[in-house]
Amino acid sequence: MKSYLIEVPKKAEVSFQVLDYSKPYFHNPIHYHSALELTLITSGEGTRFVGDSIESFFEGDLVLLGSNLPHQWKNNMQHHEIKAKSDSKAIVIHFQEDCFGREFFLKNEAQKILTLLQNAKRGLKITGETKLKIVKKMHTMLKEKGFQRTLTLLQMLDIISNSIDLIPLASYTYRILNKNSEIEKLDDIYEYVLNNITSKITLSDISSKFHMSRTGFCRYFKRHTQKTFSKFVLEARISMACQMLHDTKLNMSQIAYESGFNQLSFFSREFKNIKGITPLKYRNQIQHNISLIDQ
C-alpha cells in the first residue's frame, strides 16, 4: 500500500456529502484530500494517524480534519487477548471550504468558523459536552434530506467553533507534504511497525527494508513526520498499551511486555511522559467512564 491522494468525488446536486460507513475494517491507507472531514467512529477500534499524531481510537472517537492533512484509521490486528471487532462503522462528512460559495465563510458572522477550519489543518479531536451535541446531530443528519441537512452542518460548525472541548492532534510545527512521491513510504512504514510492535525494531532493519541508508531513512522520516523514528515507535507501543488497558484485564507487567517494553519501570515512565498519567490511572479513568455510561 502507498500513501496517496484520495479525492472525494463531488456531486453536482449537493454541497457536501454524508457517508454511513460500514465495512469489516477501515480499509484506506494513509491518505489526504482537499475536502475537510468530520468523522465519528460508531463501531471499531485501533490506531489513528493524523499528521504526526498517533493515538488509539475507540467507539465514539470524533475528529475534524482540515484539507490535505494525511490521516488513517487503522484497525489493530488480532493480538493475543485483544479481539478485533467484527465490523467497523463511522459517520463521515466531507465538505469543501467553499462548498457554500467562495466568500461564505469570509463574512463577519462566520469568522469563528473560518478560524476553526484553519485550526483543523492540524486535526482536532472533539470531546466533552461538544462531542455529545455533535454526535446527536450527526446521527440525526443521516435521516435528513435537502436544506435541513445543510442547516445541521452549519449548526455543528457553529457549535464546534465556539467550543473549548477541542484537542489539536498534529504538532504545531507539522508541515503537510502533498506530493505522493514525498509520503508514499509512510503507510508501509506504519504497517511494518504495527505488525512488529512486540519485536525489537532496529534502525538498521527498517532502513534496509526500505532500501535506504540509516542516515537517509532518519532524514526522510523526520522531514515527513516532524519526529524521530524512535519517538514514533515509542508512541505506537504506548498506543497498543492503551488499547490493552481498555480491552483486557492483563496486569501492568503483561501489558508492558505485550506492547514491546522489556522493563515495567521504563514502560510506566514513558507512558506517563506521553499520556500525562500512569497506566493504572489511565485504566481507572476508563473504568470510571464506563460506569458512568452504564448508570
What are the sequence ranges of the domains in the chain? 6-168, 185-294
Class of domain 6-168: mainly beta
Position 74 scores a pLDDT of 86
User: Which amino acid, residue 89?
Assistant: K
89: cell is 462503522
> Comparing 6-168 with 185-294, is the CATH topology the same?
no
Go through 128-158 and write b for each residue having 16 or more CB atoms within 10 A of its CB, e for each that does not.
eebbebbbeebeebeeeeeeebbebbeebbe
The tens place of each residue's pLDDT in the chain, 295 residues long, gives 334 556 566 665 578 999 999 988 887 888 888 899 999 999 988 888 898 888 889 999 999 999 988 899 988 654 434 444 448 999 999 999 988 888 888 888 889 999 999 999 999 999 999 999 999 999 999 999 889 999 999 999 999 999 999 999 988 767 655 555 556 677 788 888 888 888 888 999 999 998 999 999 999 888 877 789 999 999 989 988 888 888 788 999 999 999 999 999 999 999 999 888 999 998 887 766 555 444 4
Q: Does domain 185-294 have CATH number 1.10.287.610?
A: no
Position 140 scores a pLDDT of 95
Q: Is the pTM of this model over 0.75?
A: no
